[in-house]
Structure 1
């Protein structure tokens, strides 16, 4: 008697499928870094030595491919939040915001993709973006509870601030101004210190 299709356990991916996926990710990272998030998916598949159908089997949309690439970058942001136990909550939040903005400059056009994914719940990138937002929101809440940061902000504001600084830095190749943009944003969210 054969096992019904639904009852069969899921098979582990074949070794060649895993190699193809790894090659696709490596080429996507290279081409997105060189040409931005609008780089040709056909070129990515060709450079990886596979057909476009193989790319779509692994990554059904451009956002799914971006999401897979950004998982490692986003894990650094999640790690930053877990390391934030020492020091002031504001310092932890500021470090996280700088890291988030830096990650958003990885590929030209990425800030726009992240901003769109925050609004589009059907995007493959939405879940990761929401997870990053929640981590930032926890750091923000701690800084707000300590009275170090304005209370009229939320996690979405933080992600959009990081994205806006990254977007500005990508305009006219002004990446060297990213820290300056972030300094201005961070000064704007800081609670004014009272003079005694």
Structure 2
């Protein structure tokens, strides 16, 4: 059986540069960001970009998959902090604030994915995030801080409706209102 060779260091660096440039270009220019412009911003030849990502859809899918992996890592870190003694409701609140900010920052990438039909939803990252969030929700419900009918799907519904075009103060206000619906605590502001 032949051994699979690890990617060359320069290939790994180029892939990272391409993903970083794609994220920046799509965020700045939306779905109209061109592959030539992305390659130039990454400092690689267009052929190098196409070797890594044969289509624009492949590139956008990779950018979004990378973002979903970061979300999964954040959810798992919140679960670990809870396991070390923090309150589940505080971890859910912090996680929602993180996703709200990051989704707003990546709003053009999200729009590009819808436009291009990239659909990385599902898979390992979503399963990891869902498992971590389910643990936090159940713990918050057991503590009496989270309404009993709240589910992971409710959090996903919220993520898909973050007011990404609004300024930070409006997004913070949205989050305050959302948390009132999720938690048993009354609003103080």
TM-score, with length taken from structure 2 = 0.76
The structure whose Rg is larger is 1
Match of 2:103 in 1: 104
Correspondence for 1:129 among 111, 126, 131: 126
SS of equivalent to 2:23: helix
Asked whether the 8 Å contact 2:71–2:129 carries over to 1, the reply is no
Asked whether the 8 Å contact 2:27–2:109 carries over to 1, the reply is no
- Runs (4+) of structure 1 moved beyond 6 Å? none
Match of 1:63 in 2: 61
Cα gap change, 1:163 to 1:104, in 2 (>3 Å): same
Aligned residue pairs total: 178
**1:38 Cα shift?**
5.6
TM-score, with length taken from structure 1 = 0.74
Correspondence for 1:188 among 162, 174, 181: 181
Asked whether the 8 Å contact 2:22–2:38 carries over to 1, the reply is yes
CA RMSD, Structure 1 to Structure 2 (Å)? 2.9
Confirm whether residue 149 of structure 1 aligns to residue 146 of structure 2: yes
Q: Which moved more, 1:86-95 or 1:122-131?
A: 122-131
Specify every segment of 5 or more residues in structure 1 that has no aligned partner in the other structure, as ranges.
1-6
Measured in 1, the distance between the counterparts of 2:174 and 2:73 equals 24
Cα gap change, 1:180 to 1:77, in 2 (>3 Å): same
Asked whether the 8 Å contact 2:26–2:108 carries over to 1, the reply is no
Post-superposition Cα deviations, 1:105-158, rounded to whole Å, max 9, x if no partner, equal 2212455678x7xxx9x9334322343233222211111122221122211211
Q: Which has the higher contact order (CA 8 A, sep 6+)?
A: 2
**1:97 Cα shift?**
1.6
Cα gap change, 1:72 to 1:94, in 2 (>3 Å): closer
Asked whether the 8 Å contact 1:90–1:143 carries over to 2, the reply is yes
